[in-house]
Structures are given as structure tokens and as C-alpha cells.
């Protein structure tokens, strides 16, 4: 298994490991696997090796820039990167324009000395739950390249899952880091909104979050330390955390009040997903958690989410005027064409506020809520929904993820098993707003007593 980022940094500190060798290993993995899975849209091998050499010199002189110095990293092609185009899977964006600014999380990574390998695939404007676009093609799953990686941060999840860099940063407007984490057997956190600043702002408004994508919860906490914190360009940015998310990570779950909802009261799961998630919850109970099977008590908020999502898509495409035509994903064009009024929008805001209130009250009684991350496993690439599905909409198979974009709560996906067909299943851990450290702590407690995060796909063997 590829070394964790925290292991790399400790190895750099002692001199047992080299940033140059780690970067060479990551580039070799890209060379070996990317033709099969299409995780990257841009790789800068020369720049990465030059950055790695600079990092190695800093470690040898005892002057690293920060806790991510020398860690091979990728960035979803939805986040600005100085000197590289951010095309977002679309032909509508001019690659030749100046690219002279980093998104906040990218800036923080550069400041810590991370080695940025390149940029990862996304569907057009990150609009759906799988990763394919007319600009860059389809992205496959590490466990079976003929199956989807999920999306919209599918390139990042696949890259991490195959050791093409130790960690990545994705975005999540309706599940877009958690969906691919569940499908690829990796770890991803949608943080409390504003903890990781976003700039430029997403067309999908405050539904959208940026979050860390890793192989382990410990790496996730370490990356969150780096990319969280105030940035003046994001009007909703929270203050820089006073403590590291690694502090207390190993405190376990003894005595914690965990609510387990097997279906939120309105979802139908694949039986193998049901069984693996129930087994994971039993592990948490065995570790000392007080587990109660209970639904949080809200109805499916899909109508409110659709209003906010579709109006965001309409705003996004309207900025391009007549240039859009047939140049965008037909599903995105359909989504943007949904007709909603200002009254519809305000009603959706009211539903969102009530859902946030309800979950705030729920977390007075329960420390975290655990659910499946998804009700199913990865389906074939090149399609937005599973075969013979009842709906053309990606939200129809992601009912556990988008509610918590509405509420802006932290939600973590960790791998909790493999089906009989060898496909990963994810466990979602949801906390109250600002309880990111607690969510990570529960995920770490689960990983401390299981080894699903250590399993590697046959593709990488």
C-alpha cells in the first residue's frame, strides 16, 4: 500500500524517506494506471520533481515549510491553480486566459510546501454524481475500471485510491467527495461550510464545500489542518481553527451517543450495503459507543435541493449566453432548463432552514448520525444512473448525501466493506455543524478496529 501522508512526513523528518522518491513513486503510479482510469487532466511531472527537490533540501536543512511539505498532491479541476487552466470539464472555458490566482485551499497547500502533481477529472462544472465529460472522457474505478468512480470529484478519489499522490482536494455540492469515496474505498470529508474557504464562489452557492480526500482518516485530519482557515476572499469563511484536527483523534467512541439510521426513513438499500453498514455500526457499539437505531425524522428534501441546484446550473450557463448551444452535457442543459420562480427559491430556503433546525435539535440528543454513504455500489461508466434505473437524475441514487449539503453539516465517508463482487461500500458519519473533529474521531475509531482502508484494488497489485 502507498504510504500515508503522515508517514511520509515523519519519514522526511527522520531522513528515512525522500520527497523526491515519493514524488517519483506517485508519477510512476500515474504512468502505470492513468491510461486505465483517466483520473488526471493535467500532470506536471517536471514541475513536481523540481518542487520535490526543493522540499528535500528544506527537510535536510531542518526548515520545512509546514506539515505537508513534500507530500504528493492532486487538485480537482474545479479549483483555481496559478499557472494552470481550470477548465472544469467544459469546452466553454478559454484555456488561454490568464490563470494567475490560486483557490484558497491550493494557496494553503503551496504555503506548506506540498508537491502538486496536477489536476484531476470532473464532470462538466461538477454538476452530477459521476465523472465523465465530452472534454475529458470517463473516469473509471480503481476496483474495476469499467465501473464509475462516482463524482463529481471522481478523478481525485481514483487518484488517491491508486497511489497517484497521497491526498487530493475535491469539492462537494451534493455529495461530490463522499460519493466517489464510497465507490472507491477511500475517505472523504465534506466539512462544515466555511471551514475550508472557496473562491471563486460556486454557481451552486452555499451548497458547495471543498474537502480533503485521502486513504485514511488520519491523513484526512492532517490535510484538513492545512486547507482550513480564514481567507478574506470567501465571505462565509470561518476563523482559522485554534486546534489541530489531529488532537484527540484517537480518543475513541466510548460513551458517545451514536444514532444509526439504516435508511433515513425513505431509502431502499442494496441488501449487501445494508449488511455491511450494520456490521460497521456493531463494531462501533463494540468499541463502547451508545448506539440507538433511529431516523432523524425529516422527509426527503429533494424538491428543495432541486430548486437550489437547478437555479445554480441555470445561472452558470446563462453566463455563457448563446455560446452554450449543444456544447454542454445534455443532462446539465436539462438541469439548467428547469423553470423555477423566485417564490420557489424562497420556499426552498425555508425548507433548508427548517431542516437545519431539525438536525440542530437532533444533535442535542445524539453526538453523530451514521448512515450508508450510498444505497448501492459502483455501476458501469458512461452513464448517469444505474442500468434500468427509475429516474434519469443523479440525485435519485444519492439520497444520503445531498441533505447534509442543505444543512452544511460535516459528513465523512469511510470504507466499511466489500460486496461479494469486490466493490467498496461506504459508511457516512454526520455531525452537528462545527463538530468536524468529532466526526473524524468516530471515523478514526472505526478504522482503528478494521482494515478496510488498508485493502487495495486488484488494479494496483
Residues noted as catalytic: 76, 152, 176
Helix 271-286 vs helix 436-448: angle between axes, to the nearest 10 degrees? 90
Q: How many CB atoms lie within 10 A of CB 49?
A: 17
Q: Answer for the pair 126, 88: CB distance below 8 angstroms, yes or no.
A: yes
Q: For the stretch 352-384, what's the b/e string if a residue is b when 16 or more beta carbons lie within 10 angstroms of its beta carbon?
A: beebeeebeebbeebbbbbbbbbbbbbbebeeb
- In angstroms, the CA 23 to CA 422 distance is 30
How many secondary structure helices (H) and strands (E) does the chain include?
13, 15
Pairing of strands 40-43, 132-133: unpaired
Q: Tell which residue, 414, 417, 410, has the closest CA to residue 443.
A: 414
Q: Answer for the pair 415, 422: CB distance below 8 angstroms, yes or no.
A: no
As to burial, measured by CB atoms within 10 angstroms (0-12 exposed, 13-18 middle, 19+ buried), residue 254 is exposed
- DSSP of 387-435: TT-S-S-GGGG-TTTTHHHHHT--EEEEEEEE-TTS-EEEEEEEE-TT-
Helix 217-227 vs helix 104-111: angle between axes, to the nearest 10 degrees? 100
Q: Answer for the pair 203, 108: CB distance below 8 angstroms, yes or no.
A: no
Helix 5-14 vs helix 19-37: angle between axes, to the nearest 10 degrees? 150
Q: Answer for the pair 374, 401: CB distance below 8 angstroms, yes or no.
A: yes
Q: Which parts of 116-216 fold into alpha helices (H)?
A: 154-161, 178-184
Q: Tell which residue, 17, 134, 147, has the closest CA to residue 69.
A: 17
- In angstroms, the CA 6 to CA 447 distance is 15
Q: Residue 25 in 3-state DSSP?
A: helix
Q: Residue 130 in 3-state DSSP?
A: coil
Q: Which run of H or E residues covers position 190?
A: strand 187-190
Counted residue by residue, the chain has a size of 461
Amino acid at each position: 500500500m502507498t504510504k500515508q501522508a503522515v508517514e511520509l512526513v515523519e519519514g522526511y523528518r527522520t531522513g528515512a524517506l525522500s520527497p523526491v522518491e515519493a514524488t517519483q513513486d506517485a508519477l510512476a503510479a500515474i504512468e502505470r494506471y492513468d491510461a486505465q482510469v483517466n483520473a488526471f487532466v493535467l500532470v506536471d511531472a517536471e514541475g513536481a520533481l523540481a518542487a520535490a527537490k526543493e522540499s528535500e533540501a528544506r527537510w535536510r536543512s531542518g526548515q520545512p515549510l509546514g506539515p505537508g511539505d513534500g507530500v504528493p498532491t492532486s487538485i480537482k479541476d474545479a479549483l483555481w491553480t496559478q499557472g494552470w487552466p481550470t477548465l472544469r470539464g467544459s469546452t466553454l472555458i478559454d484555456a488561454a486566459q490568464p490563470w494567475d490566482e490560486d483557490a484558497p485551499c491550493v494557496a494553503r497547500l503551496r504555503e506548506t510546501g506540498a508537491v502538486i502533481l496536477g489536476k484531476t477529472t470532473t464532470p462538466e462544472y461538477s454538476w452530477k454524481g459521476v465523472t465523465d465529460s465530452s472534454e475529458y472522457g470517463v473516469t473509471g474505478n480503481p476496483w474495476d475500471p469499467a465501473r464509475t468512480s462516482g463524482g463529481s470529484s471522481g478523478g481525485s478519489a481514483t487518484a488517491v485510491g491508486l497511489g497517484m499522490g497521497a491526498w487530493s482536494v475535491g469539492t462537494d455540492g451534493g455529495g461530490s467527495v463522499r460519493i466517489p469515496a464510497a465507490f472507491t474505498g477511500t475517505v472523504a470529508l465534506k466539512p462544515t461550510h466555511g471551514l475550508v474557504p472557496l473562491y471563486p464562489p460556486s454557481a451552486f452557492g452555499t451548497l458547495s464545500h471543498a474537502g480533503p480526500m485521502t486513504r485514511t482518516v488520519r491523513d484526512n485530519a492532517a490535510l484538513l489542518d492545512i486547507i482550513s482557515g480564514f481567507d478574506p476572499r470567501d465571505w462565509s469563511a470561518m476563523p482559522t481553527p485554534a486546534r489541530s484536527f489531529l488532537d484527540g483523534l484517537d480518543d475513541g467512541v466510548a460513551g458517545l451517543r451514536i444514532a444509526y439510521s439504516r435508511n433515513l426513513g425513505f431509502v431502499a438499500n442494496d441488501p449487501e450495503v445494508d449488511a455491511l453498514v450494520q456490521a460497521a455500526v456493531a463494531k462501533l457499539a463494540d468499541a463502547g459507543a451508545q448506539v440507538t437505531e433511529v431516523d432523524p425524522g425529516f422527509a426527503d428534501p429533494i424538491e428543495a435541493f432541486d430548486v437550489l441546484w437547478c437555479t445554480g446550473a441555470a445561472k452558470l450557463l446563462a453566463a455563457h449566453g448563446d455560446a452554450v448551444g449543444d456544447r454542454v452535457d445534455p443532462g446539465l442543459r436539462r438541469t439548467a432548463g428547469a423553470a423555477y420562480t423566485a417564490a420557489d427559491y424562497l420556499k426552498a430556503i425555508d425548507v433548508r432552514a427548517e431542516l437545519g433546525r431539525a438536525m440542530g435539535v437532533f444533535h442535542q440528543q445524539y453526538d453523530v448520525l451514521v448512515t450508508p454513504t450510498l444505497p448501492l455500489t459502483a455501476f458501469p461508466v458512461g452513464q448517469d444512473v444505474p442500468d434500468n434505473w427509475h429516474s434519469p437524475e443523479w440525485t435519485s441514487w444519492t439520497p444520503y448525501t445531498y441533505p447534509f449539503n442543505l444543512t452544511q453539516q460535516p459528513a465523512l465517508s469511510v470504507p466499511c466493506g466489500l460486496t461479494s463482487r469486490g466493490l467498496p461500500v461506504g459508511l457516512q458519519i454526520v455531525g452537528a455543524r462545527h463538530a468536524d473533529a468529532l466526526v473524524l474521531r468516530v471515523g478514526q475509531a472505526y478504522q482503528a478496529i478494521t482494515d478496510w482502508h488498508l485493502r487495495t484494488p486488484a488494479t494496483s497489485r
